[in-house]
Chains A and B, each alone.
Chain A
Amino acid sequence: MDGSVAQIPTSFGHELRACLRCRLVKAYYQFKESGCENCPFLEMAGDEEAVGSCTTANFSGIISIMDPGRSWAARWLRLGKFIPGVYTLAVSETLPDDYQNLCDDYAPPKHAR
């Protein structure tokens, strides 16, 4: 664990959105203000449109991961490489193609499922 923790969602209701790449869950405005900590290259900070297309409110279940390295659940969900934070168990949508290409360019771990 490197000490950094993703922003913790400030609300628990409808405002929550999940990053379509890493499944990090934060409130909408948190994404808008500071983007996604795991996926800085999606450049969501300050770009409302990017937030709209790279995140979704359509997710199911959340998991707060305190210790991604040691957590079995994080490993099982393939979130073990991300920073501690709140994630979702499943999203039903996928990243739009152009953003997906962006991810592929950066080639870092890409979550599956």
Chain B
Amino acid sequence: MAVWVVWRANNHWALSENSPDKPEIVNCGPVMYWSGRKKNVKKRRSGAEFLDLEAVVDSDDEEEEEEGEDDFIVHGGADLQDEDDGGRIRRRPLLQGDDEQEDVDALARKIQQRYARTSHVEYDEETTDVEQQALLPSVKDPKLWMVKCAIGHEREAAICLLQKFVDKGGELLIKSAIALDHLKGFIYLEAEKEAHVKEACKGLRNIYSMQVRLVPIKEMTDVLSVESKTVDLAPDSWVRMKTGIYKGDLAKVVYVDNVHQRVTVKLIPRVDLQAIANKLEGINVGKKKAFIPPPRLVKIEEARDLHIRVEVKRDRDTGEYMEVINGMHFKDGFLYKPVSTKSISIHSIQPTFDELEKFKTPGDEKDEDMAGLSTLFANRKKGHFMKGDAVIVVRGDLKNLMGWVEKVEEENVHINTKIKDLPKTLAVNEKELCKYFKPGDHVKVVSGVQEGATGMVVKVEGHVLIILSDTTKEDIRVFADNVVESSEVTSGITRIGDYELHDLVLLDNMSFGVIIRVESEGFQNLKDSNFPQVLKGIPERPEVVLVKLREIKSKIERRVNAQDRNMNVVSTKDVVRVVEGPCKGKQGPVQHIHRGILFIYDRHHLEHAGYICVRARSCSVVGGSTGKDKNGANLLTTRSDGLRASPNILQSPRRIPRGPQMEFGGRNRGGKGQDSLVGRTIKIRLGPFKGYRGRVTEVKDQTVRVELDSQMKIVTGNETPRYGLGSETPMHPSRTPMHPYMTPMRDPRVTSRRFRICLFNSNDGSTFVANSYVEKAFAA
């Protein structure tokens, strides 16, 4: 019994069409075959890793035949991935086993027939990836060679090669020549041999065939895979200019000339009529090239007043009458400019509201509005509407009808309405729909220039919402499309480069300041158009500068302390009160400290995002020691405002002056510890409140109340001795300051104790529990 095995190089597409009982070869390159005993086949199974095998059995033993076939197909199918790796295609030697020669010939003929019959069908099929795999290059195919050519003449070179091929009457042995648009200075030639390439390039001045590089077989397909970009250029779509004085300007396509790849766009003119007038009158007013006139609608009367000749012509393309001034076409004050499609950018143009506003012509406001809508909606992503969304119809017969999305089907959105007479659901084209928000909704802007801002809807004008921004408290106008309902409150754009809003930054000229606002001006796609506003660190004279990102040198992150007018230490988050200067009376937590200058955040301060910049010496820490100023009446009152409810306030006057530590030590010695702590100034040694100082106001069992010096915070909390007897630890004040942290064991000198401290913020009444270590503090 003989088994015929036919190898087909990397073609599993055919496999799927096969039925075991009717082997057929479809769409394959040159067919190789090999014969042998079934035994051989089994041995060769490892070869099937690389190949699709198909068995045609020339025997009467049908059972075996089937068995063999199945095996092969399974193998072939399971290893498709390997096959796709174009470099691994193997061919088998033509023939093995001379005794079967005749049969081989017969089969070869048969295969040839089949191949001939099926191959022309090839192109009828829809191309699938699988099918394309079948066409992967093999070693039998001509190779691709990379040849240098004159930059900018790639197409020309490829076309010349064809011309040469025609002229030489088929003498040229190259198969094809490829010029890619994105690859400058090279073309590819397809040929069997390098000599063919050299021969073909001989005498062509644009091709430098000194260096011919072979493209590896694996990379051949990459050469030919070109991303086809879809360009959708239609009248009324918004574009941006890429070059010239209008660079970056929004323009509207009026007319598209596909043949010549030109479009006519409508622009807001940047025309200096006076300059034109001067030019026409022959006055030479020196060349000021740097000056670009601001965009402004042209008034024809003005031109006439300046004695500029204004012609009225009918435009060939649009058939409309236009005013022509100095070769420029105007209509309704807009400039109509023919440009190449290459000089405009078409993709993902998001006009800002202001820009669209400017494009409105007074007369036909509605039309313009609709045109704006259409582009706006063109940028919508798939799945813009989801079930349950509140929507409103913005155009068509059903305009202003409100409803809820029930179902989305491709372009059509089925909506439910409240109106009883209407059918259950209405199918509306999504282009006619717009998300609906009602005044009072809290929303977040998710795209566009204002992205990230949140606020409350205060007015709805069709598809435009007016939102009261949470941060700036200003009205912003956004498209309903660009917002989602959200309870989130953000401060607009908060990041710019490596910096965040409210960061303290060092500027170029060694000045520093806090970023109080990140403005995005101009276009969303221009990265460096985001200008952070920095409140400069000049006390008493608030100065806000708009800086460029590159002018920011670094972020200042070092935590430093400063001293207030009473020589109290001020650190960040401490609440201070400004006691002199223009900001006198303001009060708030310190956000940043740098070079003795504090940035205080006062939420009642409306300017500069609430930031106040003051010299530390002009402030006093709220609740801080007044130092020598014993009466401190003013300060105490301030503090008691916040702490009125607290019983601790009564203890405040009982503050024991720092200094005579020895005396304390003596008094505490042998005491119960708890009592000894009362009135002491302690410093929290570990945990989130590390470094904070305060006075112990009350000790009860395991509870300690600590009044922090610098913050409007009162500490209540449990004291848990670090070691069972911690509280009994006698104090040796003279020694402890030296080794406050070296307390691994129960050491009589240890003064550290572990407290669970409950801090409560008298500002908002929130409490905070933390495990912390408290140690005694001694006079600095």
Q: Interface residues, chain A, CB within 8 Å of chain B?
A: 1, 5, 8-9, 12, 14, 16-17, 28, 52, 56-58, 60-67, 70-78, 81, 84-86, 89-92, 107, 109-113
Please tell me which one of the listed residues A52, A63, A78 contacts residue B123 in the complex, with CB atoms under 8 A apart.
A78
> A109 vs B124: C-alpha distance in the bound complex, in angstroms?
6
User: Across the interface, which residues of B come within 8 angstroms of A52, CB to CB?
Assistant: 258-259
| Majority SS at the chain B contact face | loop
> A62 vs B176: C-alpha distance in the bound complex, in angstroms?
10
User: Contact: A92 with B259, CB < 8 Å?
Assistant: no
User: Across the interface, which residues of B come within 8 angstroms of A75, CB to CB?
Assistant: 135
User: Contact: B175 with A89, CB < 8 Å?
Assistant: no
User: Across the interface, which residues of A come within 8 angstroms of B277, CB to CB?
Assistant: none
**Residue B521 at the A interface, CB < 8 A?**
no
Which 4 A-B pairs rank lowest in CB-CB distance, beginning with the nearest?
A: A71-B175, A109-B123, A112-B127, A72-B141
> A22 vs B137: C-alpha distance in the bound complex, in angstroms?
22
Please tell me which one of the listed residues A65, A77, A92 contacts residue B175 in the complex, with CB atoms under 8 A apart.
A65
Please tell me which one of the listed residues B155, B175, B176, B259 contacts residue A12 in the complex, with CB atoms under 8 A apart.
B155
Q: A72-B137, A73-B144 are in contact. Are A90 and B175 (CB under 8 A)?
A: no
Some 14 contacts from A to B, beta carbons below 8 A apart, are: A12-B159, A61-B181, A63-B224, A70-B142, A72-B142, A73-B178, A73-B190, A76-B137, A76-B220, A81-B120, A89-B226, A92-B230, A110-B123, A112-B123
User: Across the interface, which residues of A come within 8 angstroms of B158, CB to CB?
Assistant: 62-64, 86
Residues 153 to 167 of chain B near chain A (Cβ within 8 Å): 153, 155-156, 158-159, 161-163, 165-166
Q: Interface residues, chain B, CB within 8 Å of chain A?
A: 120, 123-124, 126-127, 132, 135-137, 141-142, 144, 153, 155-156, 158-159, 161-163, 165-166, 170, 172, 174-182, 190, 220-221, 224, 226-231, 258-261
User: Contact: B126 with A112, CB < 8 Å?
Assistant: yes
Using A64-B162, A86-B162, A90-B226 as known contacts, list a sample of 14 further A-B pairs with CB atoms less than 8 Å apart, ordered by residue number in A: A8-B159, A8-B163, A12-B153, A56-B258, A57-B259, A61-B179, A64-B161, A66-B161, A66-B165, A67-B176, A76-B132, A78-B123, A90-B228, A92-B228
User: Contact: B176 with A89, CB < 8 Å?
Assistant: no
Please tell me which one of the listed residues A14, A60, A61, A81 contacts residue B261 in the complex, with CB atoms under 8 A apart.
A14
User: Contact: B162 with A8, CB < 8 Å?
Assistant: yes
Looking across the interface, which residue of chain B has its beta carbon closest to that of A75? B135
User: Across the interface, which residues of B come within 8 angstroms of A107, CB to CB?
Assistant: 124
Q: A12-B155, A56-B258, A85-B162 are in contact. Are A73 and B127 (CB under 8 A)?
A: no
User: Contact: B123 with A111, CB < 8 Å?
Assistant: yes
User: Across the interface, which residues of A come within 8 angstroms of B123, CB to CB?
Assistant: 78, 81, 109-112
User: Contact: B178 with A63, CB < 8 Å?
Assistant: yes
> A109 vs B127: C-alpha distance in the bound complex, in angstroms?
12
User: Contact: A72 with B127, CB < 8 Å?
Assistant: no
How far in angstroms is the closest Cβ of chain B from A97? 17
> A58 vs B176: C-alpha distance in the bound complex, in angstroms?
22
> A5 vs B136: C-alpha distance in the bound complex, in angstroms?
26
How far in angstroms is the closest Cβ of chain A from B219? 13
> A61 vs B137: C-alpha distance in the bound complex, in angstroms?
20
User: Contact: A1 with B144, CB < 8 Å?
Assistant: no
How far in angstroms is the closest Cβ of chain A from B297? 32
> A91 vs B176: C-alpha distance in the bound complex, in angstroms?
19
How far in angstroms is the closest Cβ of chain B from A55? 9
User: Across the interface, which residues of A come within 8 angstroms of B260, CB to CB?
Assistant: 14
Looking across the interface, which residue of chain B has its beta carbon closest to that of A112? B127
User: Contact: A61 with B180, CB < 8 Å?
Assistant: yes
User: Across the interface, which residues of A come within 8 angstroms of B230, CB to CB?
Assistant: 92
User: Across the interface, which residues of A come within 8 angstroms of B229, CB to CB?
Assistant: 60, 92
User: Across the interface, which residues of A come within 8 angstroms of B156, CB to CB?
Assistant: 12
> A4 vs B770: C-alpha distance in the bound complex, in angstroms?
89
> A113 vs B123: C-alpha distance in the bound complex, in angstroms?
11
Looking across the interface, which residue of chain B has its beta carbon closest to that of A13? B155
User: Contact: B176 with A76, CB < 8 Å?
Assistant: no
Please tell me which one of the listed residues B124, B153, B174, B178 contacts residue A62 in the complex, with CB atoms under 8 A apart.
B178
Looking across the interface, which residue of chain B has its beta carbon closest to that of A87? B176
> A16 vs B259: C-alpha distance in the bound complex, in angstroms?
9
How far in angstroms is the closest Cβ of chain B from A104? 11
How far in angstroms is the closest Cβ of chain B from A42? 17
> A90 vs B4: C-alpha distance in the bound complex, in angstroms?
42
> A66 vs B172: C-alpha distance in the bound complex, in angstroms?
9
